[in-house]
Amino acid sequence: MTQYTTTSFNFPRANFVGFDRLFDELTRAQLGAQNNYPPHNVVKIDDDNYIIELAVAGFKQENLDIQLKDSILTVTGKKEDTREYAHKGISSREFVRTFTLGEHVQVTGANLGDGILAVNLERVVPEDERPKKIEINTPVKTKKGFLKD
């Protein structure tokens, strides 16, 4: 029987080769973080494509910054609001969210719509590191009969 290690996201790790560090970091952040604003999702599109969705209601494109350095994705939101509120139930405070990306994971783009910032991720393994099919040769017949049919 195969035993799978799962993250707190209930995904079997065996299906996420190359993303181990990403899910370890997300799990660590989810379990140990005191500040989980803004809330986020990690959506698996297929084995090599993911989307990180952050709920950023009230933030415009010019209020958000996305940077990638040394496999650390950092999303920052800064917004000034000088209005006076009788009641404020919609949070729009400044934030910094970081995600550690797995080996060979690249950010391919980002979209903002309906209060959701979606950051597209793709795992791109270089050609020289991809699995290679090894052909099995037919044995050569010898006079001594070392390899017999």
- Can you read off the two tokens belonging to residue 93? 């405070």
Lowest mean pLDDT among 104-113, 114-123, 128-137: 128-137
List, in order, residues 6 or more apart from 148 with CB less than 8 Å away. Answer: none
Q: Chain-wide mean pLDDT for the chain? A: 80
The arithmetic mean of pLDDT across residues 64-82, rounded, is 92
Phi, psi values for residue 138, rounded to 5°: -75, 135
Task: Tell me which of 131 and 40 has the higher pLDDT.
Answer: 40
Query: What is the pLDDT at residue 1?
Result: 47
Query: What is the pLDDT at residue 143?
Result: 63
Query: What is the pLDDT at residue 8?
Result: 45
List, in order, residues 6 or more apart from 110 with CB less than 8 Å away. Answer: 66, 117, 118, 119, 120
13-125 — its CATH code? 2.60.40.790
Give the containing element (helix H, strand E) for 50.
strand 49-55
List, in order, residues 6 or more apart from 95 with CB less than 8 Å away. Answer: 35, 37, 38, 75, 76, 77
Do residues 95 and 37 lie in contact, with contact meaning Cβ atoms separated by under 8 Å? yes
Query: What is the pLDDT at residue 2?
Result: 46
Give the CA-trace dihedral at 85, 90, 95, 98, to 10 degrees. Answer: 180
Q: Percent of the chain scored above 70 by pLDDT?
A: 70
Residue type, 115: G
Tokens 């699995």 correspond to 131
What is the pTM for the complete model shown? Answer: 0.64
Count Cα atoms within 13 angstroms, Cβ side, for 113: 4
The arithmetic mean of pLDDT across residues 95-115, rounded, is 93
Lowest mean pLDDT among 45-59, 81-95, 105-119: 81-95
The string of pLDDT tens digits covering residues 10-40 is: 555 555 556 666 666 666 565 545 567 899 9
Q: Model confidence at 7, in pLDDT bands (50, 70, 90)?
A: very low
Report whether pLDDT(57) > 60: yes
Give the CA-trace dihedral at 46, 51, 52, 56, to 10 degrees. Answer: -150
